[in-house]
Amino acid sequence: AQSVTQPDIHITVSEGASLELRCNYSYGATPYLFWYVQSPGQGLQLLLKYFSGDTLVQGIKGFEAEFKRSQSSFNLRKPSVHWSDAAEYFCAVVGGGSQGNLIFGKGTKLSVKP
């Protein structure tokens, strides 16, 4: 069965520092992978997605992610974090079958120090 693991529950970085959030997936075929961000009390917003082609994907708000099939990973990166990036980040993979639902990791909460 498909699954997503986000090993880090909570990460704190200083404003201006670089960021990498880890995501590992389990899926037999080529996965469709997503990163969503959830600000406190809000719904989820799509940051970026991967489904084929170039393994380095650019998203909104200066985020990027790299798909590495050999490591079953899809890590999210940002070169310089802003205080407004403090939020919870979810990695997801599309499940099998025709319904196309997302299977989510447990999320990584990002705190940003001034």
Partner 1 sequence: NAGVTQTPKFRILKIGQSMTLQCTQDMNHNYMYWYRQDPGMGLKLIYYSVGAGITDKGEVPNGYNVSRSTTEDFPLRLELAAPSQTSVYFCASRASGGAVNEQFFGPGTRLTVL
Binding region for partner 1 (CB under 8 A): 4, 9, 32, 34, 36, 42-46, 49, 51, 90, 94-95, 98-102, 104-107
Q: Which is closer to partner 1, CB of 62 or CB of 95? A: 95
Min dist CB 30 to partner 1, Å, is: 11
Min dist CB 16 to partner 1, Å, is: 29
C-beta neighbour count of 13 within 10 angstroms: 17
Q: Which is closer to partner 1, CB of 15 or CB of 109? A: 109
- Find tokens 């590992």 and name the residue: 24
Residue 31 burial class via C-beta count within 10 angstroms: exposed 0-12, middle 13-18, buried 19 and up: buried
Query: Rounded to whole angstroms, how far apart are CA atoms 30 and 90?
Result: 19
Min dist CB 43 to partner 1, Å, is: 4
Q: Which is closer to partner 1, CB of 51 or CB of 83? A: 51
Min dist CB 92 to partner 1, Å, is: 8
Query: Rounded to whole angstroms, how far apart are CA atoms 10 and 88?
Result: 9
What phi-psi label fits residue 85: left (phi over 0), alpha (psi between -120 and 50 degrees) or beta?
alpha
Q: Which is closer to partner 1, CB of 86 or CB of 104? A: 104
